[in-house]
Amino acid sequence: MTKSEVLKSISKEMDLTISETEELYDSLVDGMNILLSNNVGFTLPGVGSFTTELRDSHKSYNPHYEQMMLIPPKKVVHFSQSSTLKEEINRGDDE
């Protein structure tokens, strides 16, 4: 689903204009990005939890150059789905 499809669906469901919906959507995404970039984890009830972790540097083989290379440390985002979401997803398979 594309962003425009998501916005259309939400705006129809909430009886808002596309521009109002996009403003809300962008605010939510910006807030999530700010929290995660500052290493602050958070939970969206009914969806799941988002946390960040610093992945250590490590060696990896580069097949193009046929040599080992050092991958620098970097932050990664982890998502853990809520039990509510997991149940909803699995219920959809039974129907």
In tens digits, the chain (95 residues) has pLDDT values of 999 999 999 999 999 999 999 999 999 999 999 999 999 999 999 999 999 999 999 999 999 999 999 999 999 999 999 999 999 999 866 55
Q: Based on the fold, state whether residues 48 and 20 are members of the same structural domain.
A: no
Q: Based on the fold, state whether residues 72 and 92 are members of the same structural domain.
A: yes
| Torsion angle of the four alpha carbons 43, 44, 47, 49, in this order, in degrees rounded to the nearest 10 | -20
Give the domain range for residue 93.
40-95
Q: Based on the fold, state whether residues 76 and 66 are members of the same structural domain.
A: yes
Q: How many domains does the chain have?
A: 2
Question: Contact at 8 Å (CB) between 41 and 75?
Answer: no
pTM score above 0.85: no
Q: Based on the fold, state whether residues 4 and 44 are members of the same structural domain.
A: no
Q: Based on the fold, state whether residues 6 and 47 are members of the same structural domain.
A: no
Tell me how far apart the terminal alpha carbons of the chain are, to the nearest angstrom: 21
Q: Based on the fold, state whether residues 26 and 55 are members of the same structural domain.
A: no
Q: Based on the fold, state whether residues 21 and 47 are members of the same structural domain.
A: no
